[in-house]
Structure 1
Amino acid sequence: MENKENILILAKKTILSESQSIAKLADYIDINFAEAIQVLFNSKGRLIVTGIGKSAIIAQKLVATFNSTGTPSLFLHASEAIHGDLGMLQKDDVTICISKSGNSPEIKVLVPLLKRFGNKLIAVTGNMTSFLAKESNYILNTTVDAESCPNNLAPTNSTTAQLVMGDTLAVCLMELRGFTSEDFAKYHPGGALGKKLLLSVKDMLENSMKPMVSPDSSIKKVIFEISEKRLGVTAVVENNKVIGIITDGDIRRMLNERDTFSDLTAIDIMSKNPKTIQSSTMVTDALNILEDFAITQLIVVDDGNYLGVLHLHDILKEGII
C-alpha cells in the first residue's frame, strides 16, 4: 500500500511545479504580447484558435472564454483544417496557433496554408526557435522547464501555461473593451449565473402574490390575508400607498400581549416605514438588503405605488444563492 504521506508530498510537488511555471510567464510578457493584443482588439474579423493533441483541448477552452467575454472565436482543429475546415477562415480573421514544440507535422502543414490567406498569426509556443515561432507574426512564449509528469512527457505544466497565457489575452481584451458585468450577462442568460446577472425584482413579481389590507381592516382579515398569500406578511395600503406592514411575528406578539383583539384594526398593530425597493432593482441587490437588515421580505413600490412583496424564499427558489 502506498504511503499516504508520500502521496501528499507528490501532490504538493505537482502543484508547486505548475504554479512556478505559471509565475515565470510574467517574465515572458513583452512587446510581442502588447502588439498581439492590439491586433486582436482592432480586428474586424473573428479569432480562430487552433492546435493539435492536448493543445487543441486548451484551444477549445480558450475559444469558450473568448466568446463569453466579447471576442467572437472559432476552434479549428489543426489536423482537420487540411480536410476542409480551413474554409471557416475569412480574410479579416486573426489566428492563434497553440503548440508546445511548434514543430509537429500538422503544424508544419497548417502554418503555410494560414499564411497563404494573409491572416495575422499569433503563436503560443514553448519553443522559440520552432517552425511555428519563425513563421508567426507574433510569438507568445509559454516555455516551461519541465513537465510535472515523472517521465517529463505528459503535457501538464506546458498546457497549464498555454491556458494561462490565453486567459491573459482574454482579460486584457475585456479591459480594453470596457467589458462589464452587464455585457457578460448577455452571453450567459441561462442557469443560476444568468439569473444572478439579469433577474430584476420586477421579474420576480410577475407570478407573486400581492398581500394587502386597508388600515381599518379587522385583525381577522389581516390573519386571513397573511395565511392566504403565504408570504408571512401583508402590506397595509391606503390609496395604493403603503403606510405600514404586518408580519406573522406582529400577530404572535399581539396575541401574547392581549386576550382579545376584536377592537383592533390593522393600523393599530402595523409597523410604519417598512423597507421598500423599486421593481427595477436587481434581485442580487435586493438580497444584499435582506441580509444587511436581517429581514425576509421587502415591499416593492414604484413612484410610491404598491406592487407586491419580494420574499427571500422566492429568491432561494430561483437558485440564485
Structure 2
Amino acid sequence: MHTMWKGTISFGLVNIPVKMHAATENKDVKLRQLHKECQSPVKYEKVCPVCDRKVENEEIVKAYEYAKNKFVILDDEELEALQKEQADKAVEIVDFVKLEEIDPIYFEKSYYLSPNEGGGKAYGLLRSALKDTGKIGVAKMIIRSKEQLAVIRVYENTLIVETIHYPDEVRSVQDVPNVPEEVAVAKKELDTAKMLIDQLTAEFDPEKYKDEYRTALLDLIEDKKNNEQTTTVKDVSTRPATATGADNLMDALQASLERAKKEKPKPKQPKRKTKTTTQKKKTAT
C-alpha cells in the first residue's frame, strides 16, 4: 500500500511515528473525450486571453483574487515556507471526544495509519486506549499543502485518520431554499410511514450495496470490445511540434481571410441599358 505521508502522532508525552495510506479509492469509470471527426483525444491547454497564446507551466504564478479582477500574487518560496513551517510540526491530538458527537456532514476522507519504525508499541497503546474508552482523538495535520482538521479512531484493528471539515466549510442549513416549516401530518399517514420504516429496517451490511451503474457501464464497454466496436487513435507522438490552439490563432485567421478574398467572386458590374428604337425616335424628334 502506497505511503502518502510520514510523521508523528502525539498525545500528551507519547509520540507515535506513523505512515499514512489512502483508505478509499475512486472507482468511477473515466471516459475520455475524442474529436468526433477523426476520433483523436481532445487536448486542454492553458491559454492567456490577453496575450492570445498558450502559456507554459513555468510562466504561471499563483494569486488570490480579493476583489473582481484584483489579485495578490504569492510566489512559490513564500508558500513553501508556510507549508514547511506547519509540516514540521507533529500531529498533536488536542481533544478526545465521542464519535457520535460529530455529525457525518463533517467527514471528508479516510486514511489508514500504520506504525513507522519503532512505533509499534505506542501505536498499540493508543489503539487499546481508544477502544477501551470509546473515544476518538481530534487533531490538526498538514495534508497536500492544506491544514486539515482530523479525527483519529479505531477501525477494526487499525488506527484510521478521517479528515473533517472546519465549521465555516459547512454551509448553513438556513441557505437551503424551500424547506418547509412544521407541517401538519395525519396520524394515520405517520403510523403507516413508521411501519414501512420498520419493515425495511435491517442490519447494515456494506457488502450488499453495489454500484449498478458502474457495473452496467463496464459490461457495455466489454461487450463493445468483444464485438470489435472500437477505434484506434492515430499516433501523433512522432509528428514535428507545431503551434496549436491560440499560438497560431491570428495566423490562421489571417490565412483564412486571405483565402476568402481570393475565393470570393468579383461583384458583377451592372449592365448598361441600351436605348430602344422607340427611345431613339423620341430623341430624334
Same fold (TM over 0.5): no
Q: Which has the higher contact order (CA 8 A, sep 6+)?
A: 2
Structure with the larger strand share? 2
Point out the structure with max Rg over C-alpha: 2
Higher helix share: 1
TM-score interval, normalised by the smaller of the two chains:
under 0.3
Taking structure 2 as the reference length, the TM-score comes to: 0.18
